[in-house]
Amino acid sequence: MDFTKKFNLGLTLETGYEEFASFLETYHTYIHSFYFSPPVDRRLHTRTKVAQAFWLPGKKRQFWKMLALIKSYGIELELLFNTLQLDAELIGKTAQQLARNGVEVDSVCFLGDYYDAVRTYFPGKKYILSFNNGYQRKAQIEQAIEAYDAEVFVLGSAFIRNNKIFAYLHEQGKQTYLLLNNGCSFNCGTCNNVLSVCEKSFQENLKHHSVEYLYALQSIFPHELRDGTIDPTHIQCFKISNRSSNLKFLRGVLDSYITGRVDDYVRADTNNYAFWGRAGYFWKHFSKMDLQKIRQYKEQILHKDAGERLYAPDETKRETE
């Protein structure tokens, strides 16, 4: 499978500039775009850890240098407004700060609420509807197509194996970015950074299913992009959640998807399960999970019509193991 310019990655500050430059040297041909939240205001950041990284000495300067280096490779820069409680003033201030630092973004990924402000301050950019908009049903996507003039939908969770929705978006002239490794429970209902809600859905699901089953359902192994479980024809980019991890993590994720290797990584460190599904509540289960069981569940998922059967979030509870 050809992964040239296929990955949409998060810009992590858990690295020095030189290490990042060497990473780009190795992987730039596979990278379509980097998404990032600039150091303008705490509200732009979901994770405290990511926000705090900016306060270390020299990190802000390193950040702007990294953006320039990314640009020099012809890789797209994607600005995020995907957190709650932003307003037009802050979106305008962000546009100013970027201009002051000589950064021109290619695309803006946002929550629907910020559409007007994004259009005002970032006219003519590629507009991307964030995963955090929480689309779970086709009707919501249809409404969003009507409401926003956006080119791209970022899909994940309940949609991860819904090949029909990727084809539908393509017919509508839209692109899909598929979030590969951060799938929340299909019946979670909200992933708008409300982690306690996600944890609660997961605990509820654990009463009915094994952790291996839930992980198999919510994670994406490399073979699923190759064997038809997920049809990549109409998927423009594979989005990776990686911003709170270092570059070693990101190298592992990319290598695994590109080469198809899974077993070696799990054998080396069970925390590497996070490569393919890193929702926070799974981590404490990783060391006890049985890879063979996960593979069996993946096999079952493949031999049902995953797109149909696993489409509606409510259906997941009725799945038999």
Identity of the residue, 119 or 137, whose beta carbon is nearer to Zn ion in the bound complex:
137
Q: Shortest CA distance to 120 belongs to which of 130, 110, 132?
A: 110
Closest approach of Cβ 198 to Zn ion, in Å?
A: 3
Rounded to 10 degrees, the C-alpha dihedral 43/44/49/55 comes to -90
* Choice between 136 and 242, CB closer to Zn ion: 136
Distances (CA, A) of 270 to 214, 233, 273: 16, 31, 6
One character per residue 146-185, x = contact with Zn ion (rule: CB under 5 A): --------------------------------------x-
CB closer to Zn ion, 150 vs 188: 188
Nearest distance from C-beta of residue 6 to Zn ion, angstroms: 25
Nearest distance from residue 132's CB to Zn ion, in Å?
A: 10
Positive or negative, the CA dihedral 31, 111, 68, 251 is: negative
Rg (CA), the chain: 19
Q: CA-to-CA distance for 47 and 3, rounded, in angstroms?
A: 29
**Interface with Zn ion, residue 214, by CB under 5 A:** no
**Shortest distance (Å) from residue 287 CB to Zn ion:** 23
Provide the 10 A C-beta neighbour count for residue 165. 21
Q: What residues between 275 and 304 interact with Zn ion by CB under 5 A?
A: none
Applying CB under 5 A, among 24, 31, 169, 198 the residue interacting with Zn ion is: 198
**Under a CB-based contact definition with an 8 Å cutoff, are residues 261 and 222 in contact?**
yes
Q: Can you tell me whether residue 250 is helix, strand or coil?
A: helix
- Decide if residue 117 touches Zn ion (CB under 5 A): no
Shortest reach from residue 192's CB to Zn ion, in Å: 8
Question: Of 129, 267, 168, 289, whose CA–CA distance to 218 is shortest?
Answer: 289
**Minimum distance from CB of 117 to Zn ion (Å)?**
26
SS3 label, residue 5: coil
DSSP string computed for 197-246: HHHHHHHHHHTTS-HHHHHHHH---GGGGTSSSS-GGGEEEEE---TTS-
Stretch that binds Zn ion, among 89-97, 103-111, 191-199, 204-212 (CB under 5 A): 191-199
Report CA 152 to chain centroid distance, whole Å. 13
Q: Is the Cβ of residue 103 or residue 198 nearer to Zn ion in the bound state?
A: 198
> Binding segment for Zn ion among 7-15, 90-98, 189-197, 269-277 (CB under 5 A)?
189-197
Residue 127 per-residue DSSP state: E
191: contact with Zn ion by CB under 5 A: yes
* Residue of 111, 128, 188, 262 interacting with Zn ion (CB under 5 A): 188
User: What residue type is 199 in one-letter code?
Assistant: E
Query: CB-wise, 39 or 183, nearer to Zn ion?
Result: 183
CA 78, distance to chain mean position in Å, is: 13
Stretch of 50-58, 193-201, 218-226, 307-315 lying at the interface with Zn ion (CB under 5 A)? 193-201
Cβ of residue 311: shortest distance to Zn ion, in angstroms?
Answer: 17
Which window, 59-67, 126-134, 168-176, 197-205, contacts Zn ion (CB under 5 A)? 197-205
Phi/psi for 246 (5° steps) reads -90, 180
CB under 5 A: which stretch of 188-196, 211-219, 242-250, 313-321 binds Zn ion?
188-196
Residues that bind Zn ion (CB under 5 A): 184, 188, 191, 198
